[in-house]
Amino acid sequence: MTEVTAEPPNESGSSFRLTVLNPGGRDPHEDFSAGAGSPNDKGHAPVNFHGYAACTRGVFHRETKAAIAEGLPVLLLLRGDFHETREALRQLQSAGLTTAVSLKETGLHQIARQLSDPKRAALFREITGAANGFLAATSETAQLCAGGTFFPTPYPIADALWDFSRPLPERAGIFIGTREWDVPSRHHFAAFSLALQLGGPATVFDEKPRRARKLWESLGGDTGKLRTLEKRLPYRDYLAEIARHRLVLQLDKSAVPGQVAGDALLCRVPCVGGDGAIDRLGFPDTNGFGRSLGELKELANQLLRDDTFYQKIVNDSQREAIARVGFEAVAKQLAKFYAALAR
C-alpha cells in the first residue's frame, strides 16, 4: 500500500500553497514549507515578496523550470526589462499553472522609472493582459491595471520566534528608518530636522557616514547624538538594532509596500510617519498619510514621554497588524484570490 502524506497546512489552516517566481533574479530558491522558520535560519527572511510564499508554506524560485515542477499556483514578478517575465509567463501558462503577476519594484519613483519607457510600458500592458490576474503590494500599484488586487506583504507578527521586542526601560532614542539617500521622496532632511526638534539621540543607516554627519551638523545637531550604521546587517541583527529604540521615525512619501513599518511591528516599536501600505494598515494612528509635520511631531513627542500612550499605540498597532498584514490573514486572502482566478 502506498502511504499518502497530506501537505502541511499553511498559516491559515488551508492547504493552499504558492510559488513566487522572480525569473532571472539574484535570490536563490527558498523552501518555506515550515512557514516563517526562525530568524537564525540561513537564507532570505520571510518578508517582502518572500512573505507571500512563506505565509502559504510555499516556495520562492528564480528558475521557471523549477517553478513549473512545483505544480503550484504562481506569483510571477515583473523585473528588469520584463522580457524574462514575458517568457516565464508563456511557459507557466503552457504548463497549465494559474499565474498572477506583480511589479517587483513598487515605489512611485520606481514605477515612474520603469514605465516611462514606452517599450517597457507596452510589455507591461501585454503581460498583465495575458496573466490570470494582477497582484499589487500597494494600493497605488493596484490602480495601474484594471482588476488589480492589493495584498499587503505579510509579516509573521503572531509568531513568538519573530517577536524582537525589549522591555520599555531598555528602549531609548529615535531610529530613522529610511536609507537610499539619493531618493528625494525619502525626505532624509526633514526626518533629521524633526529628530533634532524632538531632542534626539538618533540612529541612521548610511554607507557614507560623513554625509549623514554633515547633514546633521548643518541643522545644528551635535554629532555625539547621531549614531551611524555603515554596513547592511543580517536581518535578525537589523531588527535587534531597531528594538533598542523608543520609536522609528520616517517621512518617506514613496508609497512603498512598507518594510520599515513591518520591521517595526516585529520589534513592537511604534513607527511614526511614512505612507507605505503597512504604515497605513499597521500604524493607523501614527503613519504619515494625510498628516502634517506638526501632527507627526506631536505624536512622536508624546510617544517619547508618555508610557501609557506608548503602550496603547503598540497594542493597537499589533491588533490591527495581525488582522490585516499577519501571515494567517494574508494567506486566507491569497487562497481566495487564486481560487477565483482558477475559476
User: What residues contact residue 166 under an 8 Å CB cut-off, 6+ apart?
Assistant: 243, 244, 267
pTM of the model: 0.94
The predicted-structure confidence for 121-157, as pLDDT tens digits, reads as follows 999 999 999 999 999 999 999 998 888 999 999 999 9
Residue whose C-alpha is closest to residue 105's, from 68, 147, 140, 57? 140
Q: Is 180 exposed, middle or buried (0-12, 13-18, 19+ CB in 10 A)?
A: middle
The predicted-structure confidence for 39-96, as pLDDT tens digits, reads as follows 999 999 999 999 999 999 999 999 999 999 999 999 999 999 999 999 999 999 999 9
* Alpha carbon 85 to its chain's center: 22
Mean pLDDT of 274-283: 97
Q: How far apart are the C-alpha atoms of 99 and 94, rounded to whole Å?
A: 11
Q: How far apart are the C-alpha atoms of 340 and 32, rounded to whole Å?
A: 24
Would you state the cell numbers that stand for residue 220, as one nine-digit string?
545644528
H-state helical runs in the chain = 49-55, 64-70, 83-94, 108-115, 118-130, 139-142, 188-198, 209-218, 235-243, 259-267, 277-282, 293-305, 307-324, 327-342
- The percentage of residues in the chain with a pLDDT greater than 90, rounded to a whole number, is 91
In contact, 83 and 323? CB cutoff 8 Å: no
CATH architecture of 160-324: 3-Layer(aba) Sandwich (3.40)
Report the pLDDT value the prediction gives residue 5, as an integer from 0 to 100: 33
Whole-number mean pLDDT of the chain?
94
- pLDDT band at 341, cuts 50/70/90? very high
**pLDDT exceeds 90 at position 282:** yes
